Structure 1
Amino acid sequence: MRCSVLMLVGVLVAGGGLYGQAAPRVVEHGVYGVHLIERSIGSEEYEISSTGLRRKLSVTTNTSERGMKHTTTTTLEYRADLAPSRFEQHTITPATATAAAVDHASVTEINGDQVTAHEAESTRSFAKPAVAFPGFANMPAAAQMMMMRYWLHHGRPQKLVLMRASADALPVEIRAVGHDVFNIKGAMVRLTRYTVENLVFGREVLWMNDRERLAGVMTFAAGLPQEEVLDEYKSAFDPLFGSAVRQEMLDLATLTRAVKPEASGSYAIVGARLIDATGAVPVENSVVIVRDGRIAAAGAASAVTVPAGMQVIHAEGQSVLPGLWEMHSHYSGVEFGPALLSAGITTARDCGGELLFLIAVRHAIAEEHQLGPRLLLAGLVDGDNHDAFGLFTAGTAEEGKSVVDMYADAHFDQIKVYTQIQPEVLRAISEEAHKRGMTVTGHVPAAVNAFEGVADGMDQINHLQFVTKAMVPEWSAAPFVLNDLKSDRAKRLIALLAAKQIVVDPTIGWGEMAGHPKSIPTWGLEPGVKAAPFPLAWRFNNIGVAGMDEAKFKDGMVAKLQVIGALFQAGVPIVAGSDTNLLGYGLDRELELYVQAGMTPMQAIQSATSVPARVMHHEGDSGTIAVGKRADLVLVMGNPAEKISDLRRVVSVVTEGRIYDSKAMGATVGFHR
């Protein structure tokens, strides 16, 4: 094996010298286009240099994403037999008006049989495994290429140990899953398709060519969907992407086969506390009868008779509620389905993702009964600007109408407008969306405020910040503070939102997570991080703002919670969504914060059940427990109508009448509830 590697390298270097004999020479070079939700946001350039038996990979990645510029430099030093000796990565967060630039450094050093790895604020020294590779969650494509070469030339182990700073890091699992053939400049090119699991949450899809160069990688489950394609294959971006979507659907079928329902068809749930989300007093010792995916009966055990011979699910000590609605998801991989279902979420609204993937996964769930919540889709559109977000943009009214028609023809439920949309385009989008039976949600564009956004046709607003921003006088550069809530401007805005029934999903839990001081451990805000699979746990345990004042942070949270309370008391519809917070648990945290804002636990539950069903026009078949509605249910230990955090204690979830064990469901994607 080693001889073959040395021969291969010898061909590549074509006469490279021994140690200390010659200056490094470049033996390989490449450029990858970097995309976010299929939109080009920058490039990654790499080169491999050779000095005798030593090799060095050098990578520079420059991206500009929604106005945020980032530079990442990565180096990997290794021997000709591909054995790594040092892996180092630096990501520079640029300076802002309020913060200095930050260098996020990760280093893994291998000295003989000893390894020292440093990532974020963690450092670990340990004995080097016999077959192992250094790795970080945000490895560039070229570094993943070297990982693949190492794996290919070291026996293709079923599990490849990653030398990381945490002993909890999972080994990556690499599988060859097929081949794809493309026509590149008139020549037929064959690529081998692989999936890579545990580097990020979920499975990446990547391709290697016959020269062991990584042609492309699609990461569906790393916060937001990302794609990188080597320049020589950029003309094949669309077919590569299509192949990745097909692979994802195959992976979803595998996940579905991994967990079987405990019951389906006809059965009775007996003994649970019935919280039907209508606002009625919970019914102790209830019976809910399910037939063919629908609720056939529900009420007190004294009033509902279980038919003879029907299967009985005993749920004493538990509460049964309508399945929860996640109203702000970026559904970035098929692993999202089991993760959300295991948290009791049976309907999710996607607020901006990859068009073909979303259409495919929606079909797989709805028509093929694969694992996942029912998906409602909001089609993302931004202004025609270099800082735009997502693939589809509109710079004119006609372009805006065309994008709306495309989404409407694909049976999307809403349009999601974004920051760079101009006022005249927003008005055209809203008019066309309403004509096509769709509603308009999204960010309030930068060119208007919330007052004007509503006047221009917005029906819903994502994120509380766009409400609080409009409460501050336009001439003021100061951020929102609690006193602004008492202003005439704030009162006028709240009255407008209530009168027009403008729906707000605050996503305050994600704001808390992303903006909390690092001095407050993540688990102190979100205990669910302890149950998350390592790639997610690592990401969330290292989120936070270094040096931030805790008192200032807490004062800001109090102010935001009071705004939510004021909106709710005025009658503004509030729906719960967690954005890119911890999957499943992020919705629990959102509801806990609503209770802190002044809602009763029942009202918070309704913000994730009956209210979203009503504002999304599905109240006829969802959102409450009633005869004839979809059998989308969640069973939890305890009584969330009194203690909202009991929603975290999911026992079972029912989707389309199929009842699953929550722990078994979550385990398919690494959660251990």
Structure 2
Amino acid sequence: MKVAAIIILTISTVLSMSSRVSPIAAGDPSSVLIIRGARLIDGEGGPPLEGAVVVSRDGVIVNVFKEGAARIPEGRIIDARGATILPGLIDGHVHLGGSSGPRISAAELAGGRIDHDLAAYLFFGVTTIRSLGDAPRLAFGLKKLDAAGDGRAPHILASGPMLTALGGSPLAVGAKTAASSSLVAVELSNEAEARLKVRELIAAGADAIKVIYEEGPPSRRVPIISEAIFRAIVAEAHLGRVPVCVHTATCRGVQGAIHAGADGVEHGVVREPIDKDTIQLLVEHKIFYCPTLCVIEAPIRIAGGFKPATDALLSLTVLPAVWASINNPASVSSQAREHPRTLEARQRMLRQAAENLQQVYSAGVPISLGTDSGNEATFAGYSVHREMELLVQAGIPPMRVIQAATMTAARYCRIDSRAGSIRVGKQADLLIVDGNPLESISALRRIKLVVIAGKVVDREHLFDDER
């Protein structure tokens, strides 16, 4: 997938792309991929299958069996003995317009930055992403051209812009620039306006509707949408069979989202201890909970000296311009480094979010993985692995963390009929890693092979066009 030009102006985003790969003819043996001998983790929580064989044809899984139980067909065979095969990972909360720097600058956009980020997702085994809050032309343009299937970008789902109150977040606080905020969020003043906007987004191709329902910290309170507007958004979205994802930070926010009929909460409760009533509502209404711990932690890690030299993979997958911007004195990371109180506040929030997550998980609430990548120091692809490590540190077993990044995320995104697990009939999006992630979740970083739609990703040359 190649973004030929990206120009962000005050009122529009212009995007053009070209593809490189022609589809393989159906029935051609070259369209058959066989991965044999690996330990299989199916994404659904079932026991691992040792010595598994996974066969795909024309991008679809056609057989899964233990070696010796069936005949291996003609095709390309990959010996994966000693490795683990699992479904391609899903990041259910990204911002493609964000650079992972503190602001969207010309330098951060230079050099095909969006192309680079899309390739980075695949490099790290993330085969599906869901954009939750991007300019419509960017999000839906990339989504439409995702079908090019050139092996350089993941499958893309998108919500389009976030829906918020007049004067609400992120327009009032937290927007990187006035220009970007006017593209990624829409203010709503009444129910009719809300219903019309939801219909427009669904007609444009929205796979979800993103709502902001946070008043902000006590020092910077902002308006939130009324209950009537919220219910109108949800009702219209559900008429279009589209889930509603809600940005929250407090118990009040989560409860409001549930009472309005939302399907999932992004971030959950991070500003205070979660209470029993909120947990009970989450359980009763089967709400998806996407904690995004890594976006809270990211500036803390940078303030502690984390940099490309700390992890060789970051030198390849994060552009130098983004690192330079993160080191800008105005960045959150720099503020955390220079001001102990800022750092302590961030650390408290991370601890609280992790403690709340442990309670939510223990109560049986479905946990879905998302990173909020595009925000500062929350890097495309890489952050999925860091999020999984943080989920394990919060007390979630590795098998359940893998489910959060595969089948549960697929259910939340409503793509579980085609993605999220290794089953016959699903698309052949696969990840092969060295070692056993059930023993150490960090084994998922040791990637041997990524497959998307039955095609092996050329990880070694993903970034060649930038050199």
TM-score scaled by structure 1?
Answer: 0.56
CA deviation vs aligned residue, 1:542-577 (integer Å, no higher than 9, x gap): 635123267776555333212111111111111111
| Corresponding residue for residue 100 of structure 2 | none
| Corresponding residue for residue 177 of structure 2 | none
Equivalent residue letter for 1:536: V
Tell whether 2:362 aligns with 1:569: yes
In structure 2, distance between residues paired with 1:595 and 1:368 = 33
In structure 2, distance between residues paired with 1:402 and 1:438 = 15
- How far residue 446 of structure 1 moved from its aligned partner, in angstroms, is 9.6
Tell whether 2:87 aligns with 1:322: yes
| Corresponding residue for residue 145 of structure 2 | 364
| Corresponding residue for residue 178 of structure 2 | none
In structure 1, distance between residues paired with 2:250 and 2:350 = 24
In structure 1, distance between residues paired with 2:198 and 2:265 = 18
| Corresponding residue for residue 122 of structure 1 | none
CA deviation vs aligned residue, 1:95-149 (integer Å, no higher than 9, x gap): xxxxxxxxxxxxxxxxxxxxxxxxxxxxxxxxxxxxxxxxxxxxxxxxxxxxxxx
* Larger fraction in helix: 2
Asked if 2 retains the 8 angstrom alpha-carbon contact of 1:320 and 1:633, the reply is yes
Give the structure, 1 or 2, with the largest relative contact order (CA under 8 Å, sep 6 or more): 2
Q: Residue 115 of structure 2 aligns to a residue in which SS?
A: coil
CA deviation vs aligned residue, 1:166-215 (integer Å, no higher than 9, x gap): xxxxxxxxxxxxxxxxxxxxxxxxxxxxxxx9xxxx9864xxxxxxxxxx
| Corresponding residue for residue 39 of structure 2 | 273
Q: Residue 285 of structure 1 aligns to a residue in which SS?
A: strand
In structure 1, distance between residues paired with 2:203 and 2:325 = 37
Asked if 2 retains the 8 angstrom alpha-carbon contact of 1:328 and 1:351, the reply is yes
| Corresponding residue for residue 94 of structure 1 | none
Q: 1:303 aligns with which of 59, 64, 69?
A: 69
* Larger fraction in strand: 1
Tell whether 2:288 aligns with 1:509: no
Tell whether 2:183 aligns with 1:417: no
Equivalent residue letter for 1:501: K
- How far residue 398 of structure 1 moved from its aligned partner, in angstroms, is 0.5
Change (3 A) 1:554 1:402: closer
Asked if 1 retains the 8 angstrom alpha-carbon contact of 2:165 and 2:187, the reply is yes
| Corresponding residue for residue 652 of structure 1 | 449
| Corresponding residue for residue 338 of structure 1 | 119
Change (3 A) 1:541 1:289: farther
Q: 1:402 aligns with which of 184, 190, 196?
A: 196
Structure 2 unaligned segments of length 5 or more: list them: 23-28, 98-113, 173-180, 214-223
Q: 1:449 aligns with which of 253, 267, 272?
A: 253
| Corresponding residue for residue 282 of structure 2 | 497
| Corresponding residue for residue 30 of structure 1 | none
| Corresponding residue for residue 237 of structure 2 | 433
Equivalent residue letter for 2:163: V
CA deviation vs aligned residue, 1:553-605 (integer Å, no higher than 9, x gap): 65553332121111111111111111121111101000000000111111111
| Corresponding residue for residue 340 of structure 2 | 548
- How far residue 503 of structure 1 moved from its aligned partner, in angstroms, is 1.2
Change (3 A) 1:320 1:441: same
Asked if 2 retains the 8 angstrom alpha-carbon contact of 1:505 and 1:575, the reply is yes
| Corresponding residue for residue 187 of structure 2 | 393
Asked if 1 retains the 8 angstrom alpha-carbon contact of 2:249 and 2:267, the reply is no
Asked if 2 retains the 8 angstrom alpha-carbon contact of 1:459 and 1:502, the reply is yes
Asked if 2 retains the 8 angstrom alpha-carbon contact of 1:331 and 1:353, the reply is yes
Asked if 1 retains the 8 angstrom alpha-carbon contact of 2:116 and 2:463, the reply is no
- How far residue 423 of structure 1 moved from its aligned partner, in angstroms, is 2.6
Runs of 4+ aligned structure 1 residues displaced above 4 Å come to 202-205, 367-370, 445-448, 522-528, 539-542, 549-556, 666-670
Equivalent residue letter for 1:437: R
Q: 1:377 aligns with which of 158, 166, 178?
A: 158
Change (3 A) 1:632 1:536: same
- How far residue 520 of structure 1 moved from its aligned partner, in angstroms, is 4.3
Indicate the RMSD between aligned Cα atoms, in angstroms.
2.9
Equivalent residue letter for 1:587: V
1:628-647 equivalences in 2 (<5 Å): 628-647=425-444
Asked if 1 retains the 8 angstrom alpha-carbon contact of 2:296 and 2:349, the reply is no
In structure 2, distance between residues paired with 1:295 and 1:600 = 27
CA deviation vs aligned residue, 1:209-263 (integer Å, no higher than 9, x gap): xxxxxxxxx2xxxxxxx435xxxxxxxx55xx4xx312xx14xx36x69xxxxx9
In structure 1, distance between residues paired with 2:251 and 2:278 = 17
In structure 1, distance between residues paired with 2:187 and 2:250 = 15
Equivalent residue letter for 1:394: L
User: Which is greater in Rg?
Assistant: 1
- How far residue 522 of structure 1 moved from its aligned partner, in angstroms, is 4.6
In structure 2, distance between residues paired with 1:385 and 1:512 = 28
1:179-190 equivalences in 2 (<5 Å): none
- How far residue 314 of structure 1 moved from its aligned partner, in angstroms, is 2.0
Q: Which moved more, 1:621-630 or 1:556-565?
A: 556-565
| Corresponding residue for residue 413 of structure 2 | 616
In structure 1, distance between residues paired with 2:348 and 2:310 = 16
In structure 2, distance between residues paired with 1:613 and 1:667 = 31
Tell whether 2:143 aligns with 1:349: no
Q: Residue 49 of structure 2 aligns to a residue in which SS?
A: coil
Equivalent residue letter for 1:518: A
Equivalent residue letter for 2:42: D
Change (3 A) 1:264 1:613: farther
Change (3 A) 1:394 1:526: farther
- How far residue 434 of structure 1 moved from its aligned partner, in angstroms, is 1.4
Asked if 1 retains the 8 angstrom alpha-carbon contact of 2:4 and 2:15, the reply is no
In structure 2, distance between residues paired with 1:349 and 1:459 = 15
TM-score scaled by structure 2?
Answer: 0.79
Change (3 A) 1:421 1:245: same
1:84-95 equivalences in 2 (<5 Å): none
CA deviation vs aligned residue, 1:606-630 (integer Å, no higher than 9, x gap): 1000101122222222111011111
Asked if 2 retains the 8 angstrom alpha-carbon contact of 1:445 and 1:453, the reply is no
Equivalent residue letter for 2:186: F
In structure 1, distance between residues paired with 2:241 and 2:460 = 39
Equivalent residue letter for 2:187: T
- How far residue 345 of structure 1 moved from its aligned partner, in angstroms, is 0.7
Asked if 1 retains the 8 angstrom alpha-carbon contact of 2:43 and 2:406, the reply is yes
Asked if 1 retains the 8 angstrom alpha-carbon contact of 2:40 and 2:52, the reply is yes
In structure 1, distance between residues paired with 2:327 and 2:460 = 22
Q: Which moved more, 1:655-664 or 1:551-560?
A: 551-560
Change (3 A) 1:509 1:625: same
Q: Percent identity?
A: 29
Change (3 A) 1:447 1:639: closer
- How far residue 354 of structure 1 moved from its aligned partner, in angstroms, is 1.7
Change (3 A) 1:437 1:265: same
In structure 2, distance between residues paired with 1:612 and 1:342 = 19
Change (3 A) 1:279 1:227: same
Q: 2:350 aligns with which of 545, 554, 557?
A: 557
Equivalent residue letter for 2:40: L
Q: 1:536 aligns with which of 318, 322, 327?
A: 322
Change (3 A) 1:522 1:553: farther
